[in-house]
Structure 1
Amino acid sequence: MNARWTRYLPELLREKLDGRQELQQVVVNTGWLFFDNIIRMGVGLFVSIWVTRYLGPERFGALSYATAFAFIFSSVGALGLDWVVVRNLVRSPEQRDEILGSAFALKLLGGIATFGLSVGAIVLIRPDDRLSTWLVSVIALGTVFQAFGVINFWFQSRVQAKYSAYARSISFLIISLVKIVLIQLEAPLTAFAWAALAEVVFGAAGLLAAYRISGQHLKAWRSTTTMAKELLRDSWPLLLTDIVMLAYRRIDQVMIGEMVGSSEVGIYAVAVLLAEVWLFIPMAITSSVFPGVVEARQRGEELFQDRLQRYYNLMSFLGWVVAVPVTLVANWAVLRLFGPSYSMAGPMLTGLIWGGLFINLSIARSSFLTIMNWTRLHFITDLLGCLLNVALNLFLIPRYGGMGAVIASLISYWFVAHGSCFLFKPLLRTGTMLTRAMLYPKIW
C-alpha cells in the first residue's frame, strides 16, 4: 500500500517507492527535516549576514570565539548518548520511558558540568577579559537546557521528524526576529549571546510541547541506575570521541583568536558559516536512514553492506554537488553578501567547502561504527585526527592566519573520514567502500 502523496510524484520515482512503506516513511521523515532546515538555512543565512555586517569582523570574531570555546566543551553535556539512545529505542521501544528518563538525567548533569568547565576554562585562559567570560558563560548555559533534546531521540527512533521540526522552526523564527530587533536597536554584543541562549530555551519548550501533542507523557519517564550504567557503558567511548571531534571542528577558531586576533576569527568564521550552512542535509538524511541501517544489520550481512554502500554513495554525491558550484562563486558571493571587510573569507571558503565532502563521509562512517559498537576504534581515529589538526594549526596559523587553518582542516577531515581507515584492519573494507563512494558515487 502506498502513501497518498506518492501519486503526485513522477512515474520513475513512484516505481522506485511502490510498495516500499519503509522507504516512503524515510522520505517523509527526511522531507520534514528538510523543511525545518531549509527555513533555518534561508532565514538563518539572511539574519546571520545582517548580524555579521552589523557587528563587524572584530566584534563578530569575539562572539565566534566565545561560541567556539563553549562548543568544544558541549560534548561533555552530550555524553556521547545521542546515537546510543536512538539505537536502544529502535531495539527496545518497550523500554522507552526508562531509556529517556535515564538519558535525560545524565544529560542534565552533563550540561551542568559543561557550564562549569566552560566558565572555569575561559577565566583561566583569559583572566582579565571580562567580555569573553560573559559571552562564554551565557552561551554555555544553553547546554543545561539541551537535556530536553532526548525527546528528539524518540522522534528519530520512530522516524517522525515533523514534531521536532515544528518545535525547532518556531523557536528559530522567534529568535531570528529578536536578532533583527536587536540590530535595529543597535544592541550591544552581549545581547546576541543572550539571544543564542534564548533559542535553546525556546527549543526545549517546543520539544516538550511536541512530545505532549504526540500523545506522550513526560511524567512516565523514570531514571534508573541500571539503565544509566548501561547507556554510559556504550556511550563513554563516544563521549571521548565527541570531545575530540568537536575540538578539531572548532579548535581552529580558538587558536586563531589566541595567535592572530578577533578580527581574523571573524573573517574565518564567515567562511565556516557559508561552508557549513548546508550540512543539515547529511544530518537530516542520517537521522532518517540510521534506524533502517540498524535494522538491516539484524536482518543480514549482505543487506547491511548494500545499504551502507548506498549510504556512503549518497553522502559523497551531496558533497560533490555542493562543493563544485560553491568553489566557482565563493569570492563573488562573500563580497556581495558580507562586504569588503570580509573579502578574505572568499579564498577560505573555496578551500573549506571541500571539507564538506569528508565531513559527510565521516558522519556516515560514524553511524557504521556506532552500529558495530566499535566505539574505542572510533575514538582512536578521531583522536589522531584532532592531534593532526592541532599540530598543523600550530605550524600554519602563525604563517598564514585563517588560510593556514583551512589547510589544516582539510587534511584532518580527510584523515578522520578516509585515511585512518587504512591504518586499522577492521576498517579496511570501510576504506575501500568510501574510496568507491568518492570516485563513483552512484545513487541510481
Structure 2
Amino acid sequence: MSKLLSINSFRVLIFRAFSVAIIARIVQVCMAVILARTLDPVGYGLFTFALGVAVICGTIGGLGWPTTIVRFFPYYYDRHEKLRLKALMLVALGVSLTGPAILSVGLVTATQLIEMPEDIRQGLLIAAIMAVPIGLRQFTRQKLAACGRSPLGLFLDEFLSPAGVVIFGVWLSSASQAAVVYSLFGIAGFAVGELISRRALIDLKDNGGPPVSKNNLKEWLWVSLPLTVGLMSRALMNRVDSVMLAPLSNLEEVGYYAAAFRITYLITFPQVVVSLVLSPKFSKAFSAKLYNDLISTLRFGLIISLLSVSIFCLLILLFGSQIISFVFGEQFSPSYYPLIILTISQSISAVIIPMNAFLTVSGDHNLFGLITLIGIVVTVLLNLWLIPLYGAVGAAISAMIVGVILLFLSVISVRNRMKFCKRNWKSDNVQSK
C-alpha cells in the first residue's frame, strides 16, 4: 500500500513550516520587546492580559469547528464530495465569526455592568477588539492545514499580526493602539487565506453524491463540541496565568511573567509546526487504517520534540539572566526566576503537543477534552493558591505542576489508543513493516 505522503514532499513541507515558524517566533519576540520597552512592564502587562482574554474568547467562540475541518477534510476530499466540503467550511466560518463576536459583546457589556478596577476594565475592552480577528485567524490556519498548506496557514496566523505591530511599533504609545494594529493585520490574513483556500477546491471534481443532511451536521457537531472542551481548556491553560495574574496580583507581575513566557515560547515552536503538519497525516492514517504510518508519524513528532527541547533548555538554563537583560532590559530582571521554572514547564508541554494532535484526530476527542479539562481545573486551583503568595513565580510553579500531570495522562491515553488500533483494525488494512 502506498505511503500517505512521499518522503521528499514530507520533508519539503516540514522544512517550509519550520522556516515560517522560526520567522514567526522571531517576529513575535520582536513585538514583545518593542511593546515591553515602549510601554514599560505595566503597559506591556495590560496588552498581554488583553491578548490572553482575546485568545480565550476567539478559541471558545469557534466551538471546535476549525479543528473539525482537519478531521473531515481528507475523508471528503478523497471521495470528491465537494458539496459536503463546502458546507463544512461554510458552517465552520459562520461559527468562527459569530461565536467570538458574541463573546466580544459580552466583554463590553460586562465592563459597563460590573464594578471592577480601571486597569481590568481597560484590558477587557481591548480584548473585545481582538477576539473576532483571532477567531478568524484560527479558522484560516486550520483550513489551510487541511488543504495541505500548513506553512501558509502558520504564516497568516502567527506572523502577520505581530509583524504589523513591529512595523508600526515606533508610532504606538498605548496598548489599545497596538491591539487595533494587531487586529487589522489579522483580518487581512484571514482574507488572504480565504482566497487561497477557495482556489484549492476549484479543480476538485464533485462525484455528485447525496446532498448535505442533518446527519452530517450531527456528525460534525459530535466531533466539534467535545473538541470545544479540549481546545477551550488548552487555550485557558496557555493564557490563564497572565489572565489570573492581573486580578490576583497586578499588571506589573503580568509583564514580568509575559516576558519570561515569551522567551520560553520558543521551546514549543518545533512541536507546534510538526503537529500542524502531522494532524492531516494522522487523520488520513486513521481514515485508511494504516497502523504503521500512524506509529511512524507519532514517533517522528516525539523525536523532533525531544531534540529541540534539549537544545533550548540548555541555552536558557545557562544564560537565562543575560537573555532577560539583553532582550527586555534591566527593568525586567524579576522575570529571571519565572523564566527558569517556565523553561521546565514549556519543555514538558513541548512533548505533549504531538500527542495532543494525535488524540484530537484519532476519534478520542472526548478523552482529549477530559484531559485538558482536568488540566485547566488544576491550573485555576493552583493559581488561586500560588499567585497571591508569589506572583509571577507562583504562576510559573502552577504551570510546571500541571504540565507533569498532563504528560502522565497523555502518555497513558495515546498508549491505550494505539493498542486499540492494533487490536481492532483488520489485518488486511494494517501495513507490514
TM-score (norm. length: structure 1): 0.81
* 2:130 paired residue number: 142
Residue 408 of structure 1: CA displacement?
A: 0.6
Identity %: 20
Instruction: Report if aligned partners of 2:160, 2:185 keep a CA contact under 8 Å in 1.
Output: yes
Q: Which runs of 5+ in 2 are unaligned?
A: 421-433
Q: How does 1:120-269 map to 2 (within 5 A)?
A: 120-121=109-110, 126-127=115-116, 129=118, 132-145=120-133, 146-147=135-136, 149-164=138-153, 167=156, 171-172=160-161, 175-183=164-172, 187-211=173-197, 216=202, 227-269=216-258
Pair 1:81 & 2:65 matched: yes
Q: Distance in 2 between matches of 1:99 and 1:390?
A: 34
1:205 alignment partner AA = A
* 1:391 paired residue number: 381
Q: Alpha carbons of 1:63 and 1:158: their partners in 2 closer, same or farther (altered >3 Å)?
A: closer
Residue 227 of structure 1: CA displacement?
A: 4.0
Pair 1:61 & 2:45 matched: yes
* 1:7 paired residue number: none
User: Which SS does the other structure have where 2:168 is aligned?
Assistant: helix
Instruction: Report if aligned partners of 1:389, 1:409 keep a CA contact under 8 Å in 2.
Output: yes
Residue 88 of structure 1: CA displacement?
A: 0.4
Instruction: Report if aligned partners of 1:76, 1:243 keep a CA contact under 8 Å in 2.
Output: yes
User: Which SS does the other structure have where 1:40 is aligned?
Assistant: helix
Instruction: Report if aligned partners of 2:156, 2:193 keep a CA contact under 8 Å in 1.
Output: yes
Q: Alpha carbons of 1:207 and 1:278: their partners in 2 closer, same or farther (altered >3 Å)?
A: farther
Instruction: Report if aligned partners of 1:75, 1:242 keep a CA contact under 8 Å in 2.
Output: yes
Q: Alpha carbons of 1:81 and 1:414: their partners in 2 closer, same or farther (altered >3 Å)?
A: farther
1:32 alignment partner AA = R
* 2:271 paired residue number: 282
1:256-310 deviations in whole A, cap 9, x for unaligned?
2112211111111111111113533211111212222233332433442343233
* 2:429 paired residue number: none
Q: Distance in 1 between matches of 2:302 and 2:365?
A: 19
Residue 100 of structure 1: CA displacement?
A: 1.0
Instruction: Report if aligned partners of 2:355, 2:414 keep a CA contact under 8 Å in 1.
Output: no
* 1:9 paired residue number: none
Aligned match of 1:417 in 400, 407, 415? 407
* 1:439 paired residue number: none
Q: Alpha carbons of 1:228 and 1:200: their partners in 2 closer, same or farther (altered >3 Å)?
A: farther
Residue 163 of structure 1: CA displacement?
A: 4.3
2:16 alignment partner AA = W
Instruction: Report if aligned partners of 1:330, 1:349 keep a CA contact under 8 Å in 2.
Output: yes
Pair 1:31 & 2:19 matched: no
* 1:339 paired residue number: 329
Q: Distance in 1 between matches of 2:140 and 2:24?
A: 20
Which one is further off, 264-273 or 37-46? 37-46
1:192 alignment partner AA = A
Residue 84 of structure 1: CA displacement?
A: 2.2
* 2:339 paired residue number: 349
2:10 alignment partner AA = V
Which one is further off, 395-404 or 169-178? 169-178
User: Which SS does the other structure have where 2:148 is aligned?
Assistant: coil
Q: Alpha carbons of 1:126 and 1:179: their partners in 2 closer, same or farther (altered >3 Å)?
A: farther
1:205-250 deviations in whole A, cap 9, x for unaligned?
2213433565749xx9x99765443322111011012222222222
Q: Alpha carbons of 1:168 and 1:189: their partners in 2 closer, same or farther (altered >3 Å)?
A: closer
User: Which SS does the other structure have where 2:6 is aligned?
Assistant: helix
Q: Alpha carbons of 1:108 and 1:46: their partners in 2 closer, same or farther (altered >3 Å)?
A: closer
CA RMSD of superposed structures (Å): 3.1
Instruction: Report if aligned partners of 1:264, 1:401 keep a CA contact under 8 Å in 2.
Output: yes
* 2:426 paired residue number: none
Q: How does 1:353-432 map to 2 (within 5 A)?
A: 353-419=343-409, 421-422=411-412, 426=416
* 1:304 paired residue number: 294
* 2:427 paired residue number: none
Residue 409 of structure 1: CA displacement?
A: 0.3
Aligned match of 2:108 in 119, 127, 152? 119
Which one is further off, 94-103 or 37-46? 37-46
Residue 342 of structure 1: CA displacement?
A: 0.4
1:116-137 deviations in whole A, cap 9, x for unaligned?
33334555665452x5434433
* 2:424 paired residue number: none
Q: Alpha carbons of 1:312 and 1:167: their partners in 2 closer, same or farther (altered >3 Å)?
A: closer
Q: Distance in 2 between matches of 1:128 and 1:21?
A: 54
Q: Distance in 2 between matches of 1:350 and 1:124?
A: 40
Instruction: Report if aligned partners of 1:178, 1:195 keep a CA contact under 8 Å in 2.
Output: no
TM-score (norm. length: structure 2): 0.83
Q: Alpha carbons of 1:422 and 1:299: their partners in 2 closer, same or farther (altered >3 Å)?
A: closer
Q: Alpha carbons of 1:84 and 1:169: their partners in 2 closer, same or farther (altered >3 Å)?
A: closer
Q: Which runs of 5+ in 1 are unaligned?
A: 1-18, 431-444
Q: Alpha carbons of 1:231 and 1:344: their partners in 2 closer, same or farther (altered >3 Å)?
A: same
User: Which SS does the other structure have where 1:373 is aligned?
Assistant: coil
Residue 105 of structure 1: CA displacement?
A: 1.7
